[in-house]
Structure 1
Amino acid sequence: MRWVQKDLLQYIEAKEFVDTIIIPLAPFHLSNDSELQKSGFQSEALSILMNEIERDLAGRVMVTPTYAYLKGADKQIEIDRLNKWQDDVSNQPVNHIFFLTFDSTWKKHERLLNGTLLWLPGLQSGDLYSAEMQTVVHDQVNELSELIRSYWETME
């Protein structure tokens, strides 16, 4: 399920089946021109990945709006804010919260997050709509879906 009206109405009716929340994390900045293309590419790639993962794991997963933060922001402030998101989610029948990002700086802070960080290395630039990139995206979706399913198996 995605953060759109139709899916949220469906969530209200079937929330006992949705046990996983995915929060995409994406840095924002306009201050570094040399990084803008990479940042835009990764933001678009993250959106495509989220749509495909949601489709692959439909019925058990809710994808929240993307959590955007300034690239140079104090990570402790962002961690506190993200953990408040998690606090709100904890009022629901949710067993798993995943934070998904291309930003490697989160790895140093993952133990402070009230959820599981899934860091995706690799995608830096390219044509997201080329056949080669579609294969890469498909492979990453399969790997992420399998990883999320492995967390489900430990709870069953």
Structure 2
Amino acid sequence: MKWIPQEVETYLNAKEYVDTAVVPLYSVSVGGEMKQSASAAEFITLLTTHLERQFTGRIVLFPPFTYLKNQNEEKVLSDLLNWESAILQSEFKHVYYITSEIEWRAMTEKLKGAIIWLPAIPLEQMSDSQKLTIIDSQVKQILTLFTQKWHDNM
């Protein structure tokens, strides 16, 4: 379910069936790394949107957690931990963070949710059908992770 009023209302009426939160993690850079930052955000946006479509009724796709690339790591982690705490208190059993920022892999043990890191694939030179093929391939890999985790917790 997307972070829009109608779908949030559906979630509120069926929370017992929706146990997974997906939070995209975006870093924002300005200056020389701005294009790379935008490219990574585009990739993660397409990926998480496609993932949400595959699991409508089982996951809630939260708005992206966005931070400045050069921001203090401890402050960023603290802010994300606040999000995580609120999400877990709202009865979600699983939290997945999806990012193209490799630095998050080092934070795995500090979070209760799972970090899924995927290197950003530059999509700007691709046709829509090429983008869809690549995103679909990536989503299939993530689907396996989700279903395995759900099965393990039954």
Report the TM-score range of the alignment, normalised by the length of the smaller protein: over 0.9
| 2:57 is aligned with 1:59 | yes
Provide Cα deviations, 1:68-104, integer angstroms capped at 9, x if missing partner. Answer: 0010111111111111111111222211101110001
* Residues 141/28 of structure 1: CA separation in 2 closer, same or farther (3 Å cut): same
Structure 1 unmatched runs, 5+: none
Structure 2 unmatched runs, 5+: none
Amino acid at match of 2:84: Q
Aligned to 1:92: 90
Choose the corresponding residue for 2:73, options 72, 75, 96.
Answer: 75
Q: Distance in 1 between matches of 2:22 and 2:126?
A: 22
User: Quick check: 121-130 or 14-23, which moved more?
Assistant: 121-130
Aligned to 2:131: 133
Query: Normalization by structure 2: what TM-score?
Result: 0.93
Aligned to 1:29: 29
Q: Distance in 2 between matches of 1:128 and 1:102?
A: 19
Q: Stretches of 4+ moved more than 4 A in 1?
A: none
Aligned to 1:117: 115
| 2:13 is aligned with 1:6 | no
Q: Distance in 1 between matches of 2:131 and 2:26?
A: 20
Q: Please say if residues 42 and 125 of structure 1, whose CA atoms lie closer than 8 Å, have aligned partners that are also in contact.
A: no
Matched position secondary structure for 1:90: helix
CA RMSD between the two structures? 1.4
Displacement of 1:47 = 1.1
Query: Normalization by structure 1: what TM-score?
Result: 0.92
Paired residue total: 154
Q: Please say if residues 27 and 68 of structure 1, whose CA atoms lie closer than 8 Å, have aligned partners that are also in contact.
A: yes
What percentage of aligned pairs have identical amino acids? 25
